[in-house]
């Protein structure tokens, strides 16, 4: 017996399928159109990388497994969904044609058994997901009605399928209809309802199953469950550019608008990011600003982007509380997203690293900062001095440019401009902190001694060096950044510089990953990489004798997450005869010190200090030495250690300082008195 009974039932089903398909198509088309009206961004090329990522992140669900329990549950739901799609085709055709079997598999026992097992596993996974929302309740997971509709509808339609099979077995015998595991299990007990009752049960639950599927199809574009379509695409279209490279505003002097003030000014990929978000909150849980009570929540930024997009598209999301207040006129910044949210970001990229569906939060935040700075001139007042000083002195501190090389006085370092006919092998890029900040001048002097001890032929730019522009760019002042970048690229090219070593991961990132936008291609390494190589090749020898467990290492965001350098700093610590005692959040999970994204140059007025929060991780290790590899981190930690009165317990030392202190006596002597 066909569940659609007769031609009327078949036509009804056909009408419902067409109706649901049409609703889905209309809604999705609107969302697609508004997405494609976004600004252009090139996401083609590197197909190999894209497919590899697709394989690991989508098919392998790699990021999901970082939380194992829900990872397994989601894996089962994901693959269950894909496999059960075949069964949905079978069922729809069966209903439409009044009895039909897909060739070869439609009636195959293994196929039906597999379906039943998968359906049961998915139901169990859904129950776990519901349990997690009700009982485990991770703080970063916000639950809207939407989530219950999705979990409920998926769970119910699979339950209905199993029940329909059970009733069919009761009505027609398990072989009479078609054999199924559910039929074998449920057919006996359900037969107690009598043949008519079983038939009614079969038809009813078959229709419940089909109607829920069709309902879900129409519902998906109005829900975060749209992610089943958008997330895989989002992973595929993720940028293949260096992670640390922000998009450049081309022809900035002629641009009509700067950055993003309205959602339509985002790129289509930014809008796709919004569609792809499932609100799992892993970004929230990783965000150093969220963790210290700042108004920023990276998830909210993405959800707001989506809400604004939906409002523009005239599509209303269902099952949500916040949609009611939002109109197409609601401003993105100041309406949906507050200024303080944007200024709380340290651009540490923990959110991007945590996201299972490759959402790119940081460039959006910087884009909105660009709007605030370049168009609205609305930003924390401290930045006015920073911008003015960068413009006038090429450092953010308000110190005279011509004193930039004063730190090197008496060291006898080669300054490129002073000895143009003596080429150097390596340029040491000192950076503003190393040049001007008393604490970091000590690092610069230590690194100079180390390079000298290893017999490296290196030089510095002296007063010709200028800020790379990183703080300006991350604070949204793209124009000022471009002026600074242009100047530095010309200087570096003027001296034919090929290889650069620096103790500042921010300088490193900008010169390495962002100066190519200005035609500057340089080989840039962090001093930890340089020193690790010197140790490996034996050019640098150190005295051992350190307490093996005395050192922990804080991964700088711009070194680790931005440039994937995790091992070199640890090799340097090994070279000191010690091993890094890891903090509970380290490597790509390391918590930001609070200094990136020009935050070190702004007041931290809201919430707990991010540096104090990270210092808690440091103190937990019990290590007396905190090894660092970034002047921003050192500055933040010095402040945190001082203001929390922990100077007795822990000291922050740059890797170069630790190495310089372990130089054997004779080479230390040869390396010019400091």
Partner 1 sequence: MRILVCVKQVPDPNTVVYQIDPGTKRLVRDGVTNVLDPGAEVALEAALQLAERDGESTVTVVAMGPEDAEDAIRRALAMGAHDGALITDDALAGSDALGTAKALAAAIGQIGFDIIFCATESTDGYSGMVPGMVAELLGIPHLSFIRSLEVRDGVLTGQRVIALGYQTVQCPLPLLVAIASGSHEARYPALKGIMAAKRKKVEEYTLADLDLDPDDAGEAGARERVLELLPVEERQAGVIVEDNGDGAARIAELLRQRGVL
- Dihedral of CA atoms 280, 285, 289, 295 in degrees, nearest 10, equals 40
The one among 49, 56, 85, 384 contacting partner 1 by CB under 8 A: 384
Identify which of residues 96 and 401 has a Cβ nearer to partner 1 in the complex. 401
For residue 307, the number of C-alpha atoms closer than 13 Å in the C-beta half-sphere is 24
156 interacts with partner 1 by CB under 8 A: no
Stretches 309-317, 378-386, 434-442, 575-583: which one binds partner 1 (CB under 8 A)? 378-386
Stretches 52-60, 251-259, 267-275, 543-551: which one binds partner 1 (CB under 8 A)? 251-259
Supply the DSSP symbol for 132: I
Residues 358-377 that bind partner 1 (CB under 8 A): 373-377
383 interacts with partner 1 by CB under 8 A: yes
For residue 451, the number of C-alpha atoms closer than 13 Å in the C-beta half-sphere is 30
Closest approach, Cβ 252 to partner 1, in A, equals: 7
CA 178 vs CA 90, 117, 165, 182: distances in Å: 13, 16, 9, 11
For residue 592, the number of C-alpha atoms closer than 13 Å in the C-beta half-sphere is 31
The one among 393, 563, 581, 635 contacting partner 1 by CB under 8 A: 393
Supply the DSSP symbol for 554: P
Stretches 27-35, 330-338, 387-395, 503-511: which one binds partner 1 (CB under 8 A)? 387-395
Closest approach, Cβ 420 to partner 1, in A, equals: 22
Q: For residue 323, give the nearest of 335, 313, 308 by alpha carbon.
A: 308
Closest approach, Cβ 245 to partner 1, in A, equals: 21
605 interacts with partner 1 by CB under 8 A: no
Closest approach, Cβ 327 to partner 1, in A, equals: 27
Secondary structure (3-state) at 321:
coil
Q: Give the Cα separation of 422 and 416 in Å (integer).
A: 8
Letters for 398-427 (x = contact with partner 1 by CB under 8 A, - = none) are: xxxxx-------------------------
389 interacts with partner 1 by CB under 8 A: yes
Q: Give the Cα separation of 77 and 372 in Å (integer).
A: 42
436 interacts with partner 1 by CB under 8 A: no
Closest approach, Cβ 39 to partner 1, in A, equals: 17
Q: For residue 390, give the nearest of 214, 201, 598 by alpha carbon.
A: 598
Q: Give the Cα separation of 161 and 244 in Å (integer).
A: 49
Identify which of residues 371 and 529 has a Cβ nearer to partner 1 in the complex. 371
Q: Give the Cα separation of 37 and 215 in Å (integer).
A: 29
Closest approach, Cβ 231 to partner 1, in A, equals: 36
The one among 42, 56, 85, 388 contacting partner 1 by CB under 8 A: 388
Identify which of residues 212 and 373 has a Cβ nearer to partner 1 in the complex. 373
The beta strands (E) that lie in 436-511 are given as 458-460, 499-502
Closest approach, Cβ 281 to partner 1, in A, equals: 36
Q: Give the Cα separation of 615 and 372 in Å (integer).
A: 32
Question: Phi, psi at residue 553, to the nearest 5°?
Answer: -130, 135
Radius of gyration over every alpha carbon of the chain, rounded to an integer in angstroms: 30
Stretches 16-24, 345-353, 379-387, 575-583: which one binds partner 1 (CB under 8 A)? 379-387
What are the residues binding partner 1 (CB under 8 A)?
Answer: 252-253, 258, 373-377, 379, 381, 383-385, 387-389, 392-393, 398-402, 479
């Amino acid at each position: 017996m066909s569940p659609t009974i007769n031609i009327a039932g078949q036509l009804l089903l056909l009408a419902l399928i067409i109706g649901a398909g049409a609703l889905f198509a209309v809604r999705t088309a609107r969302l697609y159109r508004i997405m494609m009206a976004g600004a252009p961004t090139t996401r083609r090329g590197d197909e190999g990388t894209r497919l590899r990522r697709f394989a690991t992140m989508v098919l392998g669900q790699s990021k999901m497994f970082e939380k194992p329990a829900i990872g397994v549950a989601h894996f089962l739901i994901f693959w269950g969904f894909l496999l059960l799609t075949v069964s949905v085709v079978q069922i729809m055709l069966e209903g439409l044609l009044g009895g039909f079997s897909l060739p070869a598999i439609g009636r195959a026992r293994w196929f039906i058994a597999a379906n039943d097992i998968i359906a049961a596993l998915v139901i169990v996974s859904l129950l776990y997901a519901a349990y997690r929302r009700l009982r485990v309740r991770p703080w970063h997971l916000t639950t809207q009605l939407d989530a219950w509709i999705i979990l409920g509808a998926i769970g119910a339609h699979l339950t209905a399928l199993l029940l329909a099979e059970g009733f069919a077995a009761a009505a027609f015998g398990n072989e009479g209809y078609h054999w199924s595991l559910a039929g074998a299990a449920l057919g006996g007990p359900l037969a107690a309802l009598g043949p008519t009752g079983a038939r009614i049960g079969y038809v009813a639950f078959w229709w419940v199953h089909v109607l829920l599927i069709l309902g879900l199809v129409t519902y998906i574009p109005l829900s975060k469950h749209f992610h089943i379509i958008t997330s895989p695409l989002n992973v595929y279209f993720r940028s293949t550019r260096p992670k640390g490279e922000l998009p450049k505003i081309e022809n900035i002097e002629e641009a009509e608008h700067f950055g993003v003030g309205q959602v339509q000014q985002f790129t289509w990929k930014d809008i796709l990011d919004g569609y792809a978000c499932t609100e799992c909150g892993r970004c929230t849980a990783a965000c150093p600003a969220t963790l210290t009570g700042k108004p920023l929540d990276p998830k909210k930024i993405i959800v707001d982007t989506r809400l604004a997009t939906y409002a523009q598209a005239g599509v209303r999301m269902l099952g949500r509380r916040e949609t009611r207040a939002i109109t197409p006129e609601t401003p993105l910044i100041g309406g949906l997203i507050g200024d303080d949210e944007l200024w709380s970001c340290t651009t540490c990229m923990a959110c991007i690293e945590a996201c299972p569906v490759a959402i790119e939060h940081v460039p959006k935040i910087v884009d909105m900062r660009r709007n605030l700075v370049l168009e609205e001139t609305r930003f924390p007042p401290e930045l006015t001095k920073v911008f003015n000083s960068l413009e006038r002195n090429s450092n953010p501190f308000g110190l005279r440019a011509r004193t930039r090389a004063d730190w090197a006085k008496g060291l006898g370092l080669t300054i490129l401009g002073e000895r143009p006919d003596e080429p150097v092998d390596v340029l040491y890029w000192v950076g503003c902190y190393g040049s001007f900040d008393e604490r970091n001048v000590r690092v610069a002097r230590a690194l100079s001694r180390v390079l000298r001890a290893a017999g490296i032929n290196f030089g510095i730019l002296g007063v010709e060096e200028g800020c790379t522009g990183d703080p300006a760019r991350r604070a949204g002042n793209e124009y000022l950044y471009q002026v600074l970048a242009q100047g530095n690229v010309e200087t570096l090219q003027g001296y034919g510089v090929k290889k650069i070593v620096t103790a500042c991961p921010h300088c490193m990132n900008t010169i390495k990953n962002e100066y190519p936008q200005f035609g500057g291609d340089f080989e840039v390494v962090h001093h930890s990489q340089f020193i690790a190589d010197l140790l490996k090749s034996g050019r640098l020898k150190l005295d051992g004798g350190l307490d093996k467990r005395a050192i922990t290492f804080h991964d700088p965001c711009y070194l680790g997450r931005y440039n994937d350098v995790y091992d070199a700093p640890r090799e340097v610590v090994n070279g000191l005869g010690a091993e890094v005692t890891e903090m509970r959040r380290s490597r790509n999970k390391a918590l930001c010190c609070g200094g990136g994204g020009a935050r070190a140059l702004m007041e931290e007025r809201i919430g707990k200090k991010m540096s104090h929060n990270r210092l808690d991780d440091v103190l937990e290790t019990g290590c007396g030495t905190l090894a660092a590899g970034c002047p921003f981190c050192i500055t933040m930690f010095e402040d945190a250690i001082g203001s929390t009165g922990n100077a007795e317990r822990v000291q922050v030392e740059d890797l170069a300082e630790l190495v310089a202190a372990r130089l054997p006596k004779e080479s230390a002597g040869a390396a010019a008195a400091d």
